[in-house]
Structure 1
Amino acid sequence: MSGGVRIALLLPDLLGTYGDRGNVLVLEQRLAWRGIPSETVTVLSSAPEVPESCDVYLLGGGEDVAQTAAMRVLSRSPGLQRAAARGVPVLGICGGLQLLGTEFTTGDGVRHEGLGLVDAVTEPAGERAIGEVTANSVLAGVGMLTGFENHLGRTRLGAGSVPLGRVTRGTGNGHERAEGAVRGHVVCTYLHGPILARNPALGGLLLEWAMGAPLQPIAEPEELAALRVERTRVRARNPK
């Protein structure tokens, strides 16, 4: 891409718990290692509109009040929805997963219409799901996913989406061992970490979708070498 990759960080003043903003840093560094320029477009809740011209969109997690406020912003300025309709990759985490779904219910029992980018309905459960998660991804080449979850919602997928992965440890969506949701190039998950720091293959896939071309192989930096050792240890603890 001659002009570089434009990364949209959506509403970090509302959505960004547990270091989700770090996913932007991961994508920026992955591109920098390959000499590919990038520009991060930070869209705050006070922005007049959400741009539809970026190459990849990131949403983090947030509590109920922040999540419903984010829903109002994204509904009145549909740049994200227009970009997703063209196949631009989107990553939604935790609260981001829920508002990208078709419907979510907050802890006060109020039902809210979601953006409908994935076929998913979320309702609150009796207790929070907290702890480490491992799941086997359904996306080709991604393999095992790891991350940290902390959420009250339980998400059931409809026929229009598939799980991002199948849980081998932890709760995930809370239904049928599913974790997250995928429809087209829209990827949703409950995993923090940040997820793209802990799961390089997923970040690589998002960048390949954004650029429309495979990532150039490079010598493994020390950061990825250390992560590879840790993931080997995780696999040993979770043989399934």
Structure 2
Amino acid sequence: MTHDFVRPLTLTLGHLYPDQLNLYGDRGNIMTLQYRCQMRGIQFRAVGLGIGDALAPDEYDMLFIGGGQDKEQAPVAQDLYELKAIGLWAAIEDDMPVLAVCGGYQLLAHYYRPAEGPDMRGLGVFDAWTIHKGPRSPRCIGNIALSWNGSTLVGFENHGGRTYLGTAKPLGKVLKGSGNNAEDRTEGAIYRNAYGTYLHGSLLPKNPHFADHLIYLALKRKYGEEYLLAMAGQTEPSETADHAAQGLHQNGTVALAAEKKTENSLKPSDILTPLDDKLEWEAHAYILERLGLHSAALTALSAYKK
């Protein structure tokens, strides 16, 4: 059920450095977000932001930055720090969802020290740093699984650098694989709604629950809980919700009502129509099985079947 005041939902994603940072199927993450939005009638648009392009945070609802080789990261690091830093920081502090993979993850931490050459200065979004211990040090490569939010995430990692966390909260705990550094069983980092990870382009295709989490965060930030619940037919429209829907801030977010629900009261499943994710969860479970995590594989499949 929908109401007359409900307008079509729209999301715009800013894709940072699509030509430089595009290893290991990272574009698959954007394709997954686009597909899952379109299947629900959410208008989705991805805009590339290359070297020399300014980042105006009020033009986007989500941001993505992928991974690349060291030689490609150097000019990106300079552009990110000199041109896009202010806009990116403003977006993150305003709780815009950001997904940063591998090289992108490293550049959102304090610095990356490559095997050769000077340090690459990062933005310090994540209280973390990365050190490549040299060509003789084994790479962290292969399938990986980690615990996340009461569930599991699976993916593929391939990185030579070792990332160490300061006060940053990890994305998850490594069940099998290397993760941040192959030492402390941490993987990724979180700051507000920004997520850094070494899991490449199989991340969102094989983890539909995490893809929906990012979509949910973007919608919640832009439209507010009351409007989304009314859109989903779970509440009757109110004057407050109507005003919120019409009164978008300049940065695309809405002023939420004082009586809005608590942050933990709304889940992605409350506002996002379920999709047929049978193949996605079978692929997810297959990786868990290959890693010897048989119990986790059964749990993943049973969770989907519910």
TM-score for both structures, normalised by structure 2: 0.72
1:70 deviates by 1.1
Counterpart code for 2:218: A
More helix by share: 2
SS at match of 2:20: coil
**Partner in structure 2 of residue 133 of structure 1:** 144
**Partner in structure 2 of residue 107 of structure 1:** 115
1:51 deviates by 2.5
**Partner in structure 2 of residue 50 of structure 1:** 55
Cα distance in 1 for partners of 2:15, 2:68 equals: 14
* 2:64/2:98 contact within 8 Å kept: yes
* 1:50/1:74 contact within 8 Å kept: no
Structure 2: gaps (5+ residues)? 1-6, 226-267, 297-306
Select which of 165, 169, 174 maps to 2:176: 169
**Partner in structure 2 of residue 228 of structure 1:** 281
CA RMSD of aligned residues (A): 1.8
Cα distance in 2 for partners of 1:60, 1:87 equals: 20
1:234 deviates by 3.9
Cα distance in 2 for partners of 1:219, 1:145 equals: 19
- Which has the larger Rg? 2
Cα distance in 1 for partners of 2:189, 2:178 equals: 14
1:19 deviates by 1.0
Identity between Structure 1 and Structure 2 (%): 34
Cα distance in 1 for partners of 2:163, 2:274 equals: 39
1:68 deviates by 1.8
* 1:122/1:154 contact within 8 Å kept: yes
Counterpart code for 2:153: L
Cα distance in 1 for partners of 2:103, 2:75 equals: 11
**Partner in structure 2 of residue 197 of structure 1:** 205
Counterpart code for 1:21: R
Moved over 6 A (4+): none
Counterpart code for 1:57: L
Q: 1:85 aligned to 2:55?
A: no
1:38 deviates by 1.5
SS at match of 2:160: strand
Structure 1: gaps (5+ residues)? none
1:2 deviates by 4.9
**Partner in structure 1 of residue 72 of structure 2:** 66
1:34 deviates by 0.8
* 1:64/1:107 contact within 8 Å kept: no
The one-character-per-residue Cα deviations of 1:4-61 (angstroms, maximum 9, x if unpaired) are 10111110111110110121111111111110112211112243x1221211100000
TM-score for both structures, normalised by structure 1: 0.90
Matched positions, count = 233
Select which of 4, 10, 17 maps to 1:4: 10
